[in-house]
Amino acid sequence: MNVIETSIPGVLIVETDVFGDHRGFFTETYNKPKYEAMGITNDFVQDNMSFSAQKGTLRGLHWQNPPYAQAKLVSCSKGKVIDVAVDIRKGSPTFGKWVSVELSAENHRQFYIPRGFAHGFLTLTDDVEFRYKCDNVYHKAAEGGMRYDAPEVNVDWGALLAGIEPVLSEKDTTGPTLADSNNQFVYGENC
């Protein structure tokens, strides 16, 4: 396995070893000792999968506030997405900055997103299956989120969408900006 550091410390791209032959391929999607050796020491307790039927589906930007915050290890098992992590830890040197990575069934990459980050993705193909490993269980009352186009974050979805009108939920269309959100993360305290 290979781990790639991004421009935001702690946010990592994981490239799994893929062994292929005429039958197909095999890859380990998670191996606790190997991930711990790479610095991913979370105890993952919940696995989720989402399906997006249409290219241009944009989901995000979401998080769960403390004490139900979640670190995530995400991947795309069918299709292709651009995945985005935004640092929302107040006081962080990278507060409001974002990084993205292309995840696909072909490249087998994973994206590790620590607690204290908003998360979202944009589908680049139809029929996308997206998988999440989370280190805390979902708790509805802890939901947090901001508009996908929050101006103080300025994720460049326009370039990513390349003229495609995004397919959005009502929540993602009408959500607050980061400044007006219920974000409760403080750098170095509750992440």
Does 171 have pLDDT greater than 90?
Answer: no
Per DSSP bridges, beta strands 24-27 and 128-134 are unpaired
Which tokens belong to 146?
A: 């901001």
Which tokens belong to 116?
A: 């204290």
Look-up: residue for tokens 């985005």? 84
Look-up: residue for tokens 């000792």? 33
- pLDDT tier at 191 (50, 70, 90 boundaries)? confident
Question: Which residue among the candidates 30, 62, 68, 187 is catalytic per the annotation?
Answer: 62
- pLDDT tier at 6 (50, 70, 90 boundaries)? very high
Q: Is 139 a catalytic site residue?
A: no
Does 90 have pLDDT greater than 80?
Answer: yes
Which tokens belong to 124?
A: 């680049």
Does 55 have pLDDT greater than 80?
Answer: yes
Residue 141 is predicted with a pLDDT of 95
Greater model confidence, 149 or 65: 65
* Per-residue model confidence as pLDDT tens digits over 92-102: 999 999 999 99
CA distance to 74, 88, 158, 186, per residue, from 168 (Å): 20, 22, 14, 29
Task: Read off the pLDDT of each residue in 50-67 and give the average, rounded to a whole number.
Answer: 95
> Mean of the per-residue pLDDT values for the chain?
94
Does 40 have pLDDT greater than 90?
Answer: yes
Counting residues of the chain whose pLDDT is more than 90, the rounded percentage is 84
Q: Is 132 a catalytic site residue?
A: yes
Does 10 have pLDDT greater than 80?
Answer: yes
pTM of the shown model = 0.94
Residue 158 is predicted with a pLDDT of 66
Question: Which residue among the candidates 22, 68, 108, 132 is catalytic per the annotation?
Answer: 132
Residue 156 is predicted with a pLDDT of 85
Is the link from the previous residue into 166 a cis peptide, with omega within 30 of 0? no
Residue 65 is predicted with a pLDDT of 97
